[in-house]
Amino acid sequence: MCGIVGYIGEREVIPVLIEGLRRLEYRGYDSAGVVFFIDSRLELIKKKGRIFELEEEIFKRLPKGAKAPGLGHTRWATHGEPSEANAHPHTDCTKTLALVHNGIIENYQQLKKELKEKGHEFSSSTDTEVIAHLVEEHLKNKDNIKDAFFSAVSELKGAYAVCLISEKEPDKIFVARNQSPVVIGVGEGENFIASDIPALLPFTRRVMFLNDGEFAIVSREKVEVFDSKGNKIEREITEISWDIASAEKGGYPHFMLKEICEQPDAIKHTLLGRINLDTMEIDFEKEGLLKELFERVKKIFVVACGTSYHAGMVAKYLIEKDVGIPVEVDLASEFRYRSPLIDENTLFIAVSQSGETADTLAGLRLAKNKGAKILSICNVLGSTIARESDVVLYTQAGPEISVASTKAFTTQVIVFILLSLYLRRLFFNEDVSQKIKTLLDAPTKLQSFIERVRPDINEIAKRWYTVKNALYLGRNILYPIALEGALKLKEISYIHAEGYAAGEMKHGPIALIEENVPSVIVAAKETGIIYEKTLSNAEEVKSRRGPVIAVVSEGAEEFKRLADELIEVPLTSYELLPIFYVVPLQLLAYEIAALRGCDIDKPRNLAKSVTVE
């Protein structure tokens, strides 16, 4: 998730770009860059690190006579490590056009190969640079940038918001959008472009949105919008009333809620590029995960902390059930100080949003020393855990700012689902295409579920936010979800919450049941006999006068009868249950913490990245 800004007008271009970038820094910040004009030539300045480091670099170089149009970019690496070479803007071979991009170009490898064969020379390992060379290539038989840009963009597959400027037509910024956000800020004799509204608010509150597949040509005096076929269309101007702080959160009161609601998109991006839509096959090869890796694997260790550990627990259910390889899941802080039985037939999987968690890293190093192959599932490109692994599968969740992890968890689970389906195909030649279709449909289905369930959960939270204790119960693949639900509640609302395997309840925790201790029970009909067993546990709670908040499958009549509160979850596949059941628990924790007036995005005593033991 990167941030883009663009400006065309009479103002000093560099301060406008830097101001916009600063307001987009929350979208990611491993490198940044700007491009503008000096004496009709493009001038680029890029820097690894944060925006202030780019500013220092600009200050050192003191560019005189800098003029608009200009573009700026703050990068959150997806392809290619964070470095100056990989930072945007990117240029073509002639260095007369420059562009910035947010998103993932899925077919960039193919395009890059073709362009190299035609003699183009690349100077980065990004997917983005391909677009610049593709426009250059089209310019060989088109006499204007608009046609070359439109033709180049129509060859791209994937998600993109792209802005381009060129020496050939220095009075325009060319914009294209598909599945990545971009918004145009409309001024008087000047116009602005940004990935998100906060970057525009210091300059204008009048904006125009682009839809997927649309293009725009932005000059000082006007903004022209075109559909995917190049036909001109009218676009109305919207007046923005948000203040800057709420705009950064996309209008949400907290990053946590924003990130909960972003999960359908985060999942979509994690799936994108890993599924060949023609063959319905999962492809990890371009990420370096080759099938040979699994030839010798006799045992898998999944090691992680906190929420990432819960994703690891889900993996055990998925892989042992359908792939048949034993999976041991361990808390990293325990794993590193015991004597795990590891050899060269062991695959060690580290799961970490930040890629910097000290205990997980120590576990990884221990396993590596004992000869295990290391696979990591990380969200932050180029993080230490990622760098020290043999193979990395990145969750494409974008930066997670709220300390309480939400979209990182669901995307970690998605990577594990993909991995388990990949292994089923590899080992048993199983036809998993139907399962893959269900996965592809999941983001849309999750989106409408979130929209439907939010108001109900808000009402439920109003009735329970004053309790002091809560139990979370689940079985099988929903057991880790019960643990995760309890973790979310305790960390952001400071209510004592215990997650338990529902069947284990009668061995102790049942003593806690009383009128003021609600049990949040997760049960899915898709789990068959396990659903029945969880229902019996719910009855045990009820018969001791314990309130039940049931998070259960749509149409679960048995629970309607006994539950004090009912949250109905749409039916889905076994693999996707953790995704659909964790979301209402995230929302419940969030709404309760909000009613208690807690500092949701920065809970007391917690840090986003735990780099010490």
Residues annotated catalytic, as ranges: 2, 608
Nearest CA to 204 out of 4, 20, 3 is that of 20
- Subset of residues 401 to 420 that bind ligand F6R, contact rule: CB under 6 A: 404-405
For position 383 contacting ligand F6R by CB under 6 A, the verdict is no
Q: Which stretch binds ligand F6R (CB under 6 A): 6-14, 174-182, 192-200, 301-309?
A: 301-309
Q: Which is nearer to ligand F6R, 307 or 534 (CB)?
A: 307
Distance CA 523, CA 202 (A): 49
Q: Which is nearer to ligand F6R, 177 or 407 (CB)?
A: 407
Residues with Cβ within 8 Å of residue 34, at least 6 apart in sequence? 14, 17, 18, 21, 44, 45, 46, 54, 58, 70, 71, 72, 73, 89
Q: Which is nearer to ligand F6R, 137 or 491 (CB)?
A: 491
Nearest CA to 494 out of 608, 594, 607 is that of 594
Q: Which is nearer to ligand F6R, 377 or 552 (CB)?
A: 377
Among 124, 128, 360, 493, binds ligand F6R (CB under 6 A): 360
Minimum separation from the CB atom of position 439 to ligand F6R (A) = 22
Q: In terms of DSSP bridges, do strands 206-209 and 183-186 run parallel, antiparallel, or are they unpaired?
A: antiparallel
For position 395 contacting ligand F6R by CB under 6 A, the verdict is no
For position 306 contacting ligand F6R by CB under 6 A, the verdict is yes
For position 354 contacting ligand F6R by CB under 6 A, the verdict is yes
580-609 footprint of ligand F6R as x/- string (CB under 6 A): -----------------------------x
For 43-55, give the secondary structure using H, E and C: EEEEEECCHHHHH
For position 86 contacting ligand F6R by CB under 6 A, the verdict is no
Distance CA 275, CA 286 (A): 12
Residues with Cβ within 8 Å of residue 399, at least 6 apart in sequence? 1, 26, 27, 28, 76
Chain residue at closest Cβ approach to ligand F6R: 306
Q: Which is nearer to ligand F6R, 563 or 583 (CB)?
A: 583
Which amino acid type is present at position 242?
W
Q: Which is nearer to ligand F6R, 280 or 401 (CB)?
A: 401
For position 357 contacting ligand F6R by CB under 6 A, the verdict is yes
Distance CA 214, CA 540 (A): 57
Q: Using CB under 6 A, count the residues that bind ligand F6R.
A: 15
Instruction: Note whether 28 and 69 are within 8 A (CB).
Output: no
Minimum separation from the CB atom of position 603 to ligand F6R (A) = 9
Among 305, 473, 520, 569, binds ligand F6R (CB under 6 A): 305
| CA dihedral over 266, 286, 103, 179, signed as positive or negative | negative
Task: Give the E-state strand segments of 395-547 in sequence order.
Answer: 469-474, 496-501, 519-523
Angle, in degrees to the nearest 10, between helices 13-24 and 51-61: 160
For position 308 contacting ligand F6R by CB under 6 A, the verdict is yes
Among 124, 204, 307, 410, binds ligand F6R (CB under 6 A): 307
Q: Which is nearer to ligand F6R, 242 or 494 (CB)?
A: 494
Minimum separation from the CB atom of position 405 to ligand F6R (A) = 3
Minimum separation from the CB atom of position 524 to ligand F6R (A) = 23
CA angle 564, 470, 484 (to 5 degrees): 105
Instruction: Name the β-bridge partners of 224.
Output: 217
Task: Name the token pair of 332.
Answer: 């990293």
- Subset of residues 93 to 152 that bind ligand F6R, contact rule: CB under 6 A: none
Q: Which stretch binds ligand F6R (CB under 6 A): 261-269, 304-312, 367-375, 579-587?
A: 304-312
- Subset of residues 476 to 515 that bind ligand F6R, contact rule: CB under 6 A: 487, 491
Q: How far is CA 232 from CA 117, 190, 226, 495, in A?
A: 35, 21, 4, 56
Which residues here bind ligand F6R, judged by CB under 6 A?
305-308, 352-354, 357, 360, 404-405, 487, 491, 609-610
